[in-house]
Amino acid sequence: MIKQIYNIQDLPVGDLERIGLAKNGIVMLDHDDLTALLSGRRTDMLRLENLKTDAEGKLQLLLHPIYREPEVPAFLTDTQAEMLEKGEVPNLQQMIFDGEGNPREVLIEFDKDTNEFVVTDTERIQAPDEINDIPLTAEQKKRYMKGEEVETQDGTTIQYSGTEKQGIRSDKLALIASILIDGGISYLLYKGLHALYGKKQDQEHGANYQQALKNRQKDEIKQQSTVLEPGEDFDEEASQSMGR
């Protein structure tokens, strides 16, 4: 997870329209891809045709290539690069220095889809405050921001990934994360998550997932001051926009 750094108004909608990703001023991306874009993450692979753009302005549309040969960052050794390319490790932590000698901790991953090394500043990674309404400890948040696996009390294991459009992997297909944003709590429903690196997902969700879902249902009822009709199911997708 990475904090949203742009607003939808900041997007170069005209450029997106020229490549078929927007129409009549409306961005034609699904919820997860749009969230990834506004957070500075990558979307899923998208097929584009007849590309013509001459973007100008502060926020520009840049086309990202699929590399024939990966460009290895100068701060990685040949051994480290090989480990990432072969999938022997999910990521590597590295301390690098800018031109003025200031240190910066980064997380390096290898994206096989684009054949490139993905570098994320760990200070930009935002750890969830809760998973399925179970608080994460300060140590768990620290481990998450370093790209390590974190297991919660209900058996859900999560891991940050800069190569995922949702920014997270899990041993469960679905989970509910809460994040403190701008003084308020946002609840994010993640579904269809990819498995932890090199591992299989053992079940659909953690032990506390259903209870957390019920809690979000109660919150939504209070927020909207409405009552669901008997037998009416809670719309799980609605919880994706709660608190935003």
Tell me the pLDDT tens digit for each residue of 20-67: 778 888 887 777 777 777 776 667 666 555 555 454 545 555 556 666
pLDDT at 6: 73
3-state secondary structure of 185: strand
Contact call for residues 145 and 127 (beta carbons, < 8 A): yes
Q: Residue 83 pLDDT > 70, yes or no?
A: yes
Mean pLDDT score, 168-177 = 96
Residue 29 token pair: 């991306």
Mean pLDDT score, 120-125 = 93
Contact call for residues 155 and 208 (beta carbons, < 8 A): no
pLDDT at 182: 74
Residue 194 token pair: 């990819």
pTM of the model: 0.69
pLDDT band of residue 228 (cuts 50, 70, 90) is: very low
Q: For residue 44, which phi and psi values (nearest 5 degrees)? A: -65, 165
pLDDT at 90: 95
Which bin fits 101, alpha (ψ -120 to 50), beta or left (φ > 0)?
left
DSSP string, 17-40: HHTTSEETTEE---HHHHHHHHTT
When the pLDDT of each residue in the chain is averaged and rounded to a whole number, the result is: 82
Rounded to the nearest 5 percent, the helix, strand and coil shares of the chain are 25, 25, 50
Poorest-pLDDT segment among 108-122, 158-172, 193-207, 220-234: 220-234
Q: For residue 237, which phi and psi values (nearest 5 degrees)? A: -65, -25
pLDDT at 74: 93
H/E stretch holding 13: helix 13-18
pLDDT at 17: 78
pLDDT at 25: 81
Q: Residue 125 pLDDT > 60, yes or no?
A: yes
